[in-house]
Structure 1
């Protein structure tokens, strides 16, 4: 499968390469990553509060609550090199929560998930909070794009590099 990078992704990748050549490139790179992730933080907070506001029920199980485990795994990420260059909000799988690895995905799905009822042969369909992850990000793409370009531009000016957008 071929991967096509957008102009901004290619420019971000080239800026990452330019930072490697700088003497204080690691510190500048950390600042750039912080600037890239900063505009996503309100959306991340909104996503986490969305999953935490989901209704809860059932028996006590003694482990980590599902909602808290899913919220803990949601974070903003920035990548300057490699396969998937860019900035994104990501919900990692929840390995240790009662064997429910795909909890972030299934809680977001309008179809929900099926699971057996404890102590019986019955299976039930359960729905989490559909679109808790998608809604805070919708309609903000232009805002995020503008913030990424501003962060790239300020970093490029800082090291005397010219971005080709």
Structure 2
């Protein structure tokens, strides 16, 4: 089964990542080196994921304590992701769909939309528009992209230095 596309993501592009991945493949233990590079890149993006999680948790909740909780369910699905090969090579923070939460799979996308989302009121069946916190995901990373780019470059340079040291 194909993986659902991400709803929200922030990518960090770094020059030379494709070349570094090619060089890793040429190494004798390239799989272990790729795994370590991916781990290091994910570690560098964890602060960005934490900021995005705090962004959704800061959204107000005026409704009754229904279960499962929408904000915490969205926060659990925000993760840093690294792919080294395939259709794209890069590192990003993204929030995935949450299909099991009250039939509201697109919650990460809708809760940050300026126009809100339509929902049916309990009991009387009338429709109403709810609004979340506008751009909670994007605002969490505003002004910090260069810091995350530098952190990813640092992880790449450390791996490149390790490879060069072998040679």
Q: Same fold (TM over 0.5)?
A: yes
* Higher relative contact order (CA closer than 8 Å, sequence separation 6+): 2
| Equivalenced residues, count | 154
1:51 aligns with 2:45: no
How far is 1:25 from its partner? 1.8
The correspondence for 2:88, drawn from 74, 84, 90, is: 84
**Long gaps (5+) in structure 1:** 1-5
Preserved contact between residue 119 and residue 127 of structure 2 (Cα < 8 Å): yes
Aligned to 2:3: none
Aligned to 1:67: 71
- Runs of 4+ aligned structure 1 residues displaced above 6 Å come to none
- Listed one character per residue, the Cα deviations across residues 55-112 of structure 1 (whole Å, up to 9, x for unaligned) are 2232444x32111110000011111112232111100001110110110111111211
Aligned to 2:133: 129
Q: Distance in 2 between matches of 1:36 and 1:106?
A: 28
Q: TM-score, normalization: structure 2?
A: 0.82
Taking a change above 3 Å as real, the CA distance of residues 68 and 7 of structure 1, as seen in their structure-2 partners, is closer
Secondary structure at the aligned position of 1:160 is classed as helix
Between stretches 46-55 and 69-78, larger displacement belongs to 46-55
1:96 aligns with 2:100: yes
Q: Distance in 2 between matches of 1:124 and 1:114?
A: 6
**Long gaps (5+) in structure 2:** 1-11
Aligned to 2:19: 14
Aligned to 2:144: 140
Q: Distance in 2 between matches of 1:39 and 1:135?
A: 19
Q: Distance in 1 between matches of 2:151 and 2:70?
A: 33
Aligned to 2:9: none
How far is 1:33 from its partner? 1.1
Preserved contact between residue 13 and residue 91 of structure 2 (Cα < 8 Å): no
